[in-house]
Amino acid sequence: MKTLIVSALLAAGLVVTGCQSSMSKEEFQQRTEDTGYNTVIFTDYDLNRRFKDGLTGPDNVMRLSTTGHGIERTDTGTSQVWVELRNHTDFNYMVEARTSFYSQSGRPLDARPVWRRISVPANARAVYEEKSVSTDRLQYRVEVRQAR
C-alpha cells in the first residue's frame, strides 16, 4: 500500500514538473519584458510568439507580425498612430487592436482605450490607425489580440 502511494506521488510530481517546464525561457521573457513606449504588443500569444528557434523554427507561432508602426501629426495638430499588420497564414484573420496614449513623461492620457476590429486578409497586410484628441506630443502603445 505504501509503495502504491509513493508511486502515485512520484508520478504526480513528474506531471507537475512537466507542466511547469512547458513554457520556454524565451516565451517567459516575452510575457514579462518591459513593454516600453512607441511599441506594438501581441497580447494574444497564439498570434505571435517567440521561441528559441526563431521565425522558421518548428515550435514557433508566427501568424501575424508587424511590418512597421509609428506616430505622426495630423493637419489639425493631433497625433495619429499607424500599425501595418502582416498575415503569415492562408486564411483571413479578424483581430482587434487598441491604442493607449501617454504624455512625454509617461502619464496615461486616455482612461479607456477602445478595441477596434481589423480584418487582415490571407497572406496580405492591413493597416490599423488611431487618432488622439490631444495636440501635445505623445507616446503610444498598441495592443493586438484575436477578435472576440
Q: Which of 94, 100, 92, 88 is nearest to 41 (CA)?
A: 100
Q: Which long-range contacts (CB under 8 A, 24 or more apart) does 69-75 make?
A: 69/38, 69/39, 69/40, 69/142, 70/38, 71/38, 71/138, 71/139, 71/140, 74/131
Q: How many domains does the chain have?
A: 2
Segments forming the whole domain that contains residue 12 = 1-33
pTM over 0.95: no
pLDDT one digit per residue (tens) for the chain, 148 residues: 555 454 544 444 444 444 444 555 555 555 566 778 999 998 887 777 655 544 555 666 678 999 999 999 999 999 999 999 999 889 999 999 999 999 999 999 877 899 999 999 999 999 999 999 989 999 999 999 999 8
Q: Are residues 64 and 28 in the same domain?
A: no
Q: Are residues 103 and 83 in the same domain?
A: yes
Q: Are residues 130 and 70 in the same domain?
A: yes
Q: Are residues 13 and 78 in the same domain?
A: no
Q: Are residues 84 and 68 in the same domain?
A: yes
Question: How confident is the model at residue 61, as a pLDDT?
Answer: 64
Q: Are residues 67 and 103 in the same domain?
A: yes
| Distance from C-alpha of 148 to C-alpha of 146, rounded to nearest angstrom | 6
Q: Are residues 64 and 126 in the same domain?
A: yes
